[in-house]
Amino acid sequence: MNYLLIFIGSGLGGVLRFLMSTSIQRLANGWIFPLGTFSVNMLGCLIIGFLARLSESRGLFQGDTRLFLFVGILGGFTTFSSFGYESFQLLRDGEYLYGFLNAAGQVVLGLLCVWLGFILAALL
């Protein structure tokens, strides 16, 4: 049942990401900056922070509901929200080194992995 909830939620989140990102990019009228993706990522971070606080302080969104919303919908909408939340949790818990390593490491290594993927594909 967990997999089904995540499957349905991530499908909904992916469709929402596509609709929002393309709409905002179209409104940006040819601006080269990826404003659509940027907006989706920031909104996803805002929403996961908001829902996580409600979950912690009021006991909302437990079990299946949490999986559907956090992993499914927000995971399909943007995994950047999970990255932001996990980095925030580390910093909030006083794990500053791990928080900054996670944030900087994922950005820098992520870009390096994209570059490496391009290099590897060029070898084919």
Q: 28-62: per-residue pLDDT in tens?
A: 988 888 899 999 999 999 999 999 999 989 989 89
What is the full DSSP assignment across 10-39?
HHHHHHHHHHHHHHHHHHTTT-SS-HHHHH
pLDDT at 94 over 90: yes
pTM of the full predicted structure? Answer: 0.80
